[in-house]
Amino acid sequence: MQQRKQQDIKQRNCITVHSDQGRPVVFGHGFGCDQLIWLPVIGQLPKSVAPITFDFMGCGRSDFSAYDKEKYGSFNGYVQDLIDVIEALNLGAVDYIGHSVAGMIGMLAAVKRPDLFKQIIAIGPSPKYLNDADYQGGFEREDIIDLLSMMERNHFEWAGYLAPIVMENSQRPELAEQLRKSFANSNPEISRRFAEVLFLSDNREHLKHVPVPVTLMYCAVDVIVPVGVIEYMAAQIPHSKMAELNAAGHYPHVSSPQEVSQAIMAIL
């Protein structure tokens, strides 16, 4: 029964074990992407690392038939899926690297199951994207509502609008085009719901409970996550440190994979 459950999870989240030799490192992708976004970084890693990637529900080659509106109507569904994925690997505690929302999902999963995580490397995470009186997350509520409305009205228009803004590297338009295709290939209905869960969330209260070491990787120029957010997280998470990347934009693992891989290895 247990073996069958593990196999079901491997298929549900399309778990890919890139090597069975070396130190297991699990990679979680960000919103609007799938596990393929990590390939440039994985290609730079030494053989001493055994990368493992997967797709969050509704992304990439995950099993869309397993999508449940109620389960994935909050972070809890995605957090449980990450726990399931690591359990299905049967490797014990692993190093986990999560981009953007996947970084926050990893921290929430570690609060629930600290035994599954050695450490977390979070690239451009945020506990809350909305500004309020004493916190600057980077967005006003009207900005997010407009973004959600655009997604609902025209998924492809939204993909074309957002990709070059978040990629930042205007001198390399091919990077924005790659990201646009990733956004456009995602399921419009599921992406819209995931975006609402993500951009209207507030996970600040959980930061002080994260029990494992966390490295907060960030770019000085990131339209999605201001440096002030990273500084806020570093002050709240008990065992944390900041690591600035020599890159720009919200997707440094796409624009500067060698820089990101070297930074990862320095931590591992």
pLDDT value of residue 2 = 65
pLDDT value of residue 1 = 60
Q: Which of 18, 29, 99, 250 is catalytic?
A: 250
Q: How far apart are CA 91 and CA 242, in angstroms?
A: 28
The answer to whether residue 132 is catalytic is no
pTM over 0.75: yes
Q: Which of 100, 126, 256, 261 is catalytic?
A: 100
Give the residue from 120, 106, 52 showing the smallest Cα distance to 78. Answer: 106
pLDDT value of residue 184 = 83
The answer to whether residue 222 is catalytic is yes
pLDDT value of residue 107 = 98
pLDDT value of residue 25 = 98
Q: Which of 81, 99, 222, 253 is catalytic?
A: 222
The structure tokens 């996970």 sit at 203
Q: Which residues of the chain have pLDDT under 70?
A: 1-4
Give the residue from 242, 240, 239 showing the smallest Cα distance to 218. Answer: 242
Q: How far apart are CA 222 and CA 192, in angstroms?
A: 22
Provide the CA 254 distance to its chain's centre, in angstroms.
13
pLDDT value of residue 140 = 94
| φ, ψ of residue 149 in degrees (nearest 5) | -65, -40
pLDDT value of residue 236 = 98
**What structural domains does the chain harbor?**
2-127+203-267 (3.40.50.1820)
DSSP letter (8 states) at residue 18: -
The answer to whether residue 170 is catalytic is no
pLDDT (tens digit per residue) in 137-191: 999 999 999 999 999 999 888 888 888 988 987 888 888 898 888 888 888 899 9
